[in-house]
Structure 1
Amino acid sequence: MSRSTAYRWLHAWRACGETAFQDGRHGHLAKLREPVRTFLEMLLTPAPETPSREAQAALQKQFGISVSIGHLNHVRRQLGLSSRAARSKNKRFASSPSQEAHWQEGAGGLLLLASAQQTGLLTILEEALSGLASRKPSRLASLSSSSRFRLSLTLLFLGAVGLHRTWDLRSYTGDALALLTGRPRAYGYFHTERFLAEVAESNGAEMLTNALARWTTGLWYPSTQSGPCTNPSACFYVDGHRKPVYTDMLIPRGLVGRLSAILGCRALVLLHDARGHPLLATTHRGDHHLTLGLPAIVKRYEQETGPGAVQQIVVDREGMAVEFLALLGSEGRSIISVLRADQYAGLDSFTDVGDFVPLRVSKQGKILREVAPASITLPLPEQKGQSLQLRVALIRNLCHQVPLPPTEDEREYPKRWDADLNWEDRRWWDEGWQATPASRPATTPKLIPIVTTASTVDAVELAQMYIERWPLQENIIRDFLLPLGLDTNHGYSKKPVENSEVVKKRITLEKRLANVQRWAEGARKRSHNASKLYRKRCKLTKEQATELYRALNDHQIELEQQGMEHWLLRKTMKEQKALADAEIEKYQQRQWKAYHTSNQEFAKCEKYCREQREILRALEDLTVSKRTMYELDNRKDQVMTVFKVALTNLVMWTRDHYFPTSFAQATWKRLAPFFHLPGLIVQSDETVTIAFCSFNDRQYNRDLTLLCERVNAACPHLPDGRRLHFFAENVPRPILNMQKQCVA
């Protein structure tokens, strides 16, 4: 101890006595030893709603210690005796019921809240968030269950009130979100974004995704009915969706379909059932291919719903990779897709083509589309000599004509542009030449080959199953998920990763370099061997020609000595010389063949050597121009994607159960006015009654009346147990100039 401290304590003792040595710091952990904690448990267990201020006074009186309110609340939460939890139990949607009516915007959204309670969505979310709070010490654990519950409702209903991201809460002034979350005012940006970050960092994306799979399956396939797990013929649709991410840094890129551009993006894989309900969605980096995402999402879905739940899968042509189809087919799954344009070249590419039957007929009885069964065999690129046979539903679109593909002769010898004209009309260089319309090219109906790995299939059924993918999956994405904010990004934190684009280019160039080096060495050897063979054959040709001409000269001398007439000698020698020249020509042909082979291989060797230098230059340039790639943290985005998919299913379930039958195919754009409808709310201990403001359209008002009747007949309950009642009446609205009218 220093001398100054000793003098300071001595001065304090002389001034205040023993009280100068009392520790005035409050809330120290050492103060709540076992006797104190036992006394606190005995005090609060019978009455957990006791305020902490009364407990503080009891501890001061019993033990003579002073504990701060904050530390006392912390200890109470550890003991499970929080006064806040006791007071808010079964009263999450606070506010003491009042008979006084008050005007509320977005009152129709309470139907979504009641539906969330009825379908078990709120229970699923609460269980998942409770599991997160217990797994990892974080701020989630210090939040009360009521706060976690309301924050999760804030994230769930953001899209329902027209907000797409938590940042939009900064300028949000409405009351609809507060009504749906049971608060006087909605949570702000800071609290909501912090909660989202805590959920993402606590592995919430994984737990919420698994919970979504369980909930959607139970929602659309209850255990009392035949669900997809017990129906092998159930069809599932899998598709990819990319949403652009605009940033100055290089992130994994992919083709954004709606923009027709390759941009930095996030890739989503969505799983829909046969009726178009989105069952599951996962988020990946932008260059994630559908052939990788499909097996992953199917595996995750089956982990939550049972093995073998997904047997029949319909996927876009992006999944039309032969190796991929063979792999899934070996697992016993039936894959339905459409062939890419580079995988067939017309009707001749198919075998076992059956008779065409009508598939689509106009009102006038005209056949618009027809279909026929067929087969096609595609080679497996990675397995030489192996192939995959697919069954085909060959659709012929009679309304869409395409030019006939050119034949091999036409590709080699293309026709002139004026080949269809007479010789007199081809003199286009003459003055006064008149142009005529070009002849119409030969066309054929467009083919749409729908393929499947199944061994036997009905062509009409297969074609209809794939065609239904467009309204059942593409339209759900366009009409529900996108309006509810699926394309909105959440979370932009990044970490440097290996540049996948550079790696792909480098692998391709290195593979090409290895091949070119091998080819160059082979061409060099073949050129050398051909040169040796050429010299050898030149020598052989010379020897053979010398021998033949020597024999020919000897024979001529012999005939001259025999006294043969000159004209006959000349004729005979000419004939024998022709025979000798023919024999020599054979040797010369073999000689020149070796010569040309040597030149060709030499040219190849030169070409490959030049290409090696170009590839090495490209590799060096690739290293110099390499940019650092950053990968986005997709955990926040996946959490919000789960909430958006859950909200989409909730809206579709509410539409099917409460709205009139004319709304069976209604989209979010048509349903939103009913959920945004304002009204007068009257609350009691058992009911919440809402009198809606009418629309300006008669048909909408008739639909609203039917909606109220169906809701009142079903008697849905809010999370606090009160029943929900709707009425469609002409409710008086607040008028701003009422005072002015009264004065007038």
Structure 2
Amino acid sequence: MSEEERISKILSTIRKIEESKQPVSIYFNQNSVPFSLAQYYRYRRILRKCGEEGLRDGRKDGNYTKMTERIKDYVITIVKDNRSIPSSQLQSKILNQFNVQISLSSLNNFRASASLTRLPAQKEEKYKRQKSGGGEILTSLSFFTNIIELYTKIIAEQVDIVRQSPSFKQNKELEKDNPDIRLHGKFTSEYNQLESVRENRFKSIDDKIEDKDFSAMNLFKMSEKTISRYNLALLCLPLVTSNGRSSRVNRVKGNDLSFLCGYNYKDASLNRYIQELKYLKVSDRLITATAKFWMDFWRNESEDGTYFVCYYIDGNTKALWSSNRCYKGRVTMLGRVMNCLENVFIHDGKGHPLYFQTFQGHADLG
């Protein structure tokens, strides 16, 4: 029986029932009807809602196609290999493999009954390649040896010491000098030309600290994580500059700091951090702690049972160009006696640098 014949038979049967003027139940008892009483009412609802088109058999489109055992085994195999596969893709695979259209609801019900519901796909981590020129070797060693942690700990302790000192609270009440010449808190050319400002510029740190408002320094607002990041940036300066000066950070190569230390610091930030460390007067503690750190480090790394106590002392004289009166000494690379600074280094018996100190003029090593 074709689809058109089937629909025509259903319509003619319904028409006969309505024209008989008998109750529907009596008509079904007295006559042979090709469908049940419940199906009759179902057809009536479909006709009122969708018309004759609603009587067409949709099973040929796969809406009510039952899943065979072969299809079930096929679905189980695919889903176990890939739990994140959506039912729409599974439907396409079944159609290509068996030429059968299974509804999405049937697939979802079967997956739920077999405990094979879809799981969200895991996001693959995307790794971004960075150019560092091997700088990560230095940063890795600095964290492996805990030298950065040592610097951060000492600076943080010194910050707490200064914060608890009487001068911290006293200097907090100091007013800014010459506020009428400043522009929104910034120094102007007129401010820098003042005689009092020019004289104060060359004073020692001990004299400047007396009038220094520590609470205005960024260092007292930093967390230990930020201090550690600044220290790592200073350690990486020779890698991102040609001469280790912070002023060269503003060039293209200086952008590598964002990879090496986690933030792309510029010259102004690093220079201000160094200046604030100067007011902390933490250099002596850092030098002493660094020397002790490397002595302990190389002693622990040495495989020898005994440690040969022998130290080498070496000096490096650098020219100091200034019109002010300074201590003088012989600068070998220039072949003249002039203003200078001398860096004195102390190495252990195996040549490892342990300690250094800077002196004004010639340092008498004797």
Relative to the length of structure 1, the TM-score reads 0.24
Higher RCO structure, 1 or 2 (CA under 8 Å, sep 6+): 1
Q: Which has the higher strand share?
A: 1
